[in-house]
Structure 1
Amino acid sequence: MSAPATLPPPAPAPAPGGPPTPPGSALLGPVASALAVLLAGSATGAVVQGFGWLGYAALAVAVTAATGGLLLAVRPALAAPGQLLALVLLGTGLFTGSGVLGVLPGPAALGELAALLGGAGAQIDTGLPPVAATPEILLLVTLGFGALTIAVFGLAVTIGAPAAAGVPLLVVFAVPVALQSELLPWWSLVAAAAGFGVLLLLRPERLRQAPAGAAVVAVAVAGALLAGAAATAVGTAGRFDAAGGAGAGAGADGSIGLSPFTSLRGQLTRSEPRELFRVRGMDDPAYLRALTLQTYVPQEGWTAGRPQPGIPLTGPLPPSTSGPATEQTVQVDNLGFRDYWLPVFGDPTAIDVGPEGWAYDASGGIAYSERPREEEGWSQSMRLPEPSAEQLRSASGSVTVDRAYLDTEGVDPRVVQIARDVTAGATNPFDRAMAIENHFTGPDSPFTYSLATAPGAGDDALVDFLTVGRTGYCEQYASAMAVMLRAVDVPARVAVGFTAGTDGPGGRTISTENAHAWVEAWFPGYGWMTFDPTPLADGQTIEPGYVQQAQEQDGGVPAQEQPAPEPAPAPPADGGDAAPEPPAPDEGQPAMTAGGGSPWVTLVVVAALVAGLVLLVLTPGLWRRRQYVRRAGLARAGGTGAAAAAWEEILAASRDHGVPVPPEDTVRGAAARITERHGLTGRPAAALAELVGRVEASWYGGVLPGPETLDGLVDEVRAAIAAGGGSLRSRMLPPSVVPSVPSMPSAGRGRAGAADQDDPVPTTRD
């Protein structure tokens, strides 16, 4: 059967560049993408102090969105490169003083930007959110929001896939969630959902759906808010290391989220210290231990491993120390601490913490749970060991603790030699421990306390600290002493927790300013004993009786009685681990450079993000290519299905290049539309006519095409259609890979010739 003799007149061809654009729609895309980024970016307030960052973020978003809108009207392919250039010019003008003409990034300006970004990395690595809005952090915010706008604009406006733009918006939440131990405020979730809703209504023709869309978004946000619960506690942000030993009760998995020392340092540098505990009934001050660190990795530091199978905190606990001790029972009120670890004093003998879920690892000296918890309070009975200096000097016997506490694998030989030199003449483990502590805290010690470490130029950070810098805070001192103790055959580990805090009418109050790290050394017959090599000058150091006795016997001055060094600015009040700022570097000494993790890690992360974005952009095109290969193969093979595959490919190619074929068109009607709208003449038009004849012969006459009779015709027509050009959007997100919504058939006329039976199969098979 043939197609109808009279074909309906084809629809008028659109004006060059696409269909008529409604007034104001040219601004809709840039404005909507900018608004979505700013709304989703409200979560940044959880990790950056104040609201100063918002101005920089808004400026970066406005500049990149406006640049993209202008270039999109000129040539879509120029939008992203132009936006990136505008962002670089903005960053140069705002944060450097050596840009050519103020904004052009020359070598000097690029060096300044690199230094600022390195400084931002150091501040993030050593701080807890919210971090101060320093120039380094503000540069990071500016570049981050600008880059995010480029990604959202490209997906939502340039390519026309607004739903896909939700993927880069997740980055805004990934950063605060990864760094902030608290839940984000509810309004940040609402703002981000509203921003994504704006993107979904990006096209002018969808604005009429705004009321229904707003209702759907509101219901979804309300459900999400009801599913969450607010939390405002502070913890050590540690998780069990999955590589450690497993055991009952140690059910948490995953690796440590933030380094214990990163969390520790961040608590010390908080602009607004937070009270964590109030302790009642404590006669003798003691350190409050949250966790202990067993494994030292050279150039990386100490890591927290999975605890050993523990004893439930539902009854008495066997003491892990022996010898003379003072017994106390205290009540701890939790004011804002939530973590996997339950801080404990001394050597616990009983902990009444209420419901089950906590266990105690006696070998590690830690109480832990398989999920973060925030208990209202608990009582603890404990032993505070009080052996004398002479008893520890005479301690003897085999080492019965894990030999890992003596591990020095990979430690620089220079550190081992320094430890041996410092302990030369010490004939027993206790005297070796005292020699090392006095090396850091003695009256003639060259070491000074500071939250900023002195710069080093060597290849080993620990060697630099011991030989060049000699400046740091409790992380450096505890790390160095523990490694040095192991180097002279004394089992040692690092403890992380809090000093005893400030005494008051209602008991001792412990805050984030009391965060601290110290050393515990093991002695046969006595167990783990406390040593503190950090030269604090604020009265928070707790020196056990055996340390004071040894210092007095040696004619030394106990650490807590040492005169405080002259500070530059005054130290923070009641700072458990606070100290004066470090002195300015000596003349000729290089300025302090930003520390941070391995650059290879950063490169891998950046490469992974770029690869993921590239894959996201290329996936539709790759899928379209797969469709063509499949259809071309069927057409080339001939026989059943060849005609349908060939015709599907012609319809898909036409749709990709701006001429969709209505489902109700007959084969010949569709061919006439394609010929006219794509301007096919000569051989391509003849090839399309021949293809239509073979398709009709196959579908209506039962004459199946032979091998290699249709594929050449398909390729000729496809090439001619593509020669007419195509938009960047059609290449990156081909319309044919998006399922089309069937239209309602017009009155009196069936779909695909259903009334006249010219075309019994659908003309659109995508």
Structure 2
Amino acid sequence: MRLPVAAGAATGAVAVALYPLFQTGTWFWASLGAILVVTAVGMLASRYTLPVWPVPLAQLAVFWLYLTAVFAGDTAWARVVPTKESAVELAELVATGFADIQKFAVPVPERPGITLLTCGGVGLIAILVDFCAARLRRSALAGLPLLSLFVVPASFIGDPLSWPTVVIAALGFLGLLAADGRERVTHWGRAVLVRRTPSFVAPRPAAETGTLRLSGKRVGFAAIVLAVLLPSMVPTLEPNPLFGFGVGNGNGRGGNTIGIPNAMVNLRGALSLPANSTVLTYTSSDSASRYLRLYSLDVFDGTEWTMSPPRGRPQDRTSEGPLPPAPGQGAGVPAAQATTRVTVSEEVRRLSFLPLPYPATQVRIEGDWRADVDTLMVFSTTDTAEGGTYEVVSNEPRPTAEALRTAGAAPQAISDKYLRLPEDLPDEIVRLASAVTDPDAGKYEQAIQLQEFFTSKGGFSYTLATQGHGGPALTDFLIRSRAGYCEQFAASMAVLARVLGIPARVSVGYTGGTNISGQWTVRTHDSHAWPELYFEGTGWLRFEPTPAGAAGQGSATVPIYTQPEVTTGGDDTPTANPSTGPTGAGVPSGSASNPRNPMLDRDFGGVPVAVEEGTPTAVKIGLGGVAVLLVVLIPALLRAGVLLRRRRVYSRQALRSGAAGEAGEATATALGSTGIAAVRSNRGQATVAAAWAELDDALCDYGVSRQPSESPRALARRLSEQHEFDAAAAASLARIAEAVERMLFARTLGETGSFREDVRRVRRALASTVSRGRRVRAVLLPPSMLLRIRAMGTRLLDGFDRLENIRFGRPARRNA
């Protein structure tokens, strides 16, 4: 029955890889129960030697009983036996689970339908693994269903699986292979080879196949260690996707459709990457920085923000001329036109949406790129932009405060689409929107009040240690924790704006980046989300609720038109930030050769935001070399620790010997002569044992042979004569040998003193008899420590052997 147990353990080990897909662990316990049920049936089938094919059918039947009891017990007979009602309930849960999977982004909440699908999938995988391994005796073939379970999280999350997960899964599969190998080898008969058994000891039944199993374990463990450690030491062949394009989004080349990426999941992945890689660089005609938008999310279902599928008509190709006009932007609103030249890094992969300033009026790029009429997102179903360069002409509105205050009502089509909220939106959020804004104020003033609520008045803080932007997570962020990153800030302000009747959507892209030598550089950690609010006559305007500077995302900036101190001049342009640029776009005065972000000049005293450059390659190589050196020096460090511990034993003995004369009378009175002899004997034995162990290690380190039949005195005499020790070294070696023999054979040990100088003198004498290379090896790679490390590994393998020797059946009868 070993193979069914190993098959169940392998399935459970691989199932651990599913944990990043869920917010809690309910799915795991339900799946564990399914694995135990399948394994129990497999063990019974092996115990009573049932035919092969009825076993999977029996497992399916019992598995159905288990699912009925766990998920539809209220409608089942005796809470276990399926009925028509329980079957209908399970079918409804399955349908609900598939609907929830399409609706939720990972990590998904613990919904009954999703838990049922997960438990059912894990149970079916367990049946397939048991069938391949325990019935067909093809354990290697069982790796295919295990692999199908293992790749599920890799298909839905952009982050790589953690190394403990990979190790646990690999150990599970390795255990299955080892169990199968032992089952096969035991059918060959009695083996002659015996592992770690003296020649005069008879072979034990548990060790008959030990040598073969030991070799297999060593190969398996070595493969796992190399698979985990080697990639961390080798330079990456292909950089990680900077925004997660192509990871679970179904992007395909050559078709007429485009996959819709989960923008929020990709955003979190980009902000959490340890390396702050360059995404793109750009220059603009007015030298100003600009937010670059990728996605426009317009649908909020109460759980997450998503975007409607973009529509690109043939007449909306960028090669056909100007893009469609920006929705809601009137001809009379002041605007600043600028030309931006963008160069995308070659490290970016599958970039099917162009990062663009909003609103773009013309895009010059090679390939079939089309603009969505409603959002002006530019995308392609056949081309990608990595490593390419393109130019964008944008016409950014510069509205006056008065124009925004007097903006009319939004068109009905805009209101119907961008004011839509779920019916089950918590009342707490609705009340909060009214509490933080003035009900008598206009829409523009309310929008500014919302922005100030997040940036200064609401007590919010910026942190990446949170997840989610919808449902309970949104309520917790707004009402209780008030800690999150740009995803929560943007999504929350857009929801509150819709509650107040202001059309809103969420944009995902990049902040303006950092100016380096006259060129703006946008990096991975500049990934950002922000809300856009609609005002008739001006169109969609960016707002910034995410805290900036040291308290939040450093490159985020608050728009000028949302500042309370903004005034208007006679030419209907903001006067708080006079223009010196060529387009009147509000560029601060300064040298044209060193342009700065105007928001940085005003809010941070003109100091560019510090950006992590990432760890240089030379530093990585150096750190890798240091790590390898530390690993190589582990035996030397262990040897130094052992030597230090033994020297402390010598030192304590010397101190006790020196103090013996002063405390002799008091000790004799308290203990008597017999007690004193016992105490001194125990202390002396520890010192002698430490000296002899150090001598034994020194002989091993310097490659000096020691015959098993040699007594300590004979060994000392042979070494002194063979290597021609001087008188002092020979005398020290003789004293150590004599003390060892007295400890082993004499009635009393007598006075020993400290052997510290004796041991040191003998080590130097031994070192002088070998080559320099041998002395270096004795220090850096001492063989005595290597043997101890090998012994530790052997004991670890012995522990696995003991686990394998556990038998689940009845003990075999012994002949009388």
TM-score under structure 2 normalisation?
A: 0.43
TM-score under structure 1 normalisation?
A: 0.46
Q: As a proportion of its length, which structure holds more helix?
A: 2
Of structures 1 and 2, the larger Rg is shown by: 2
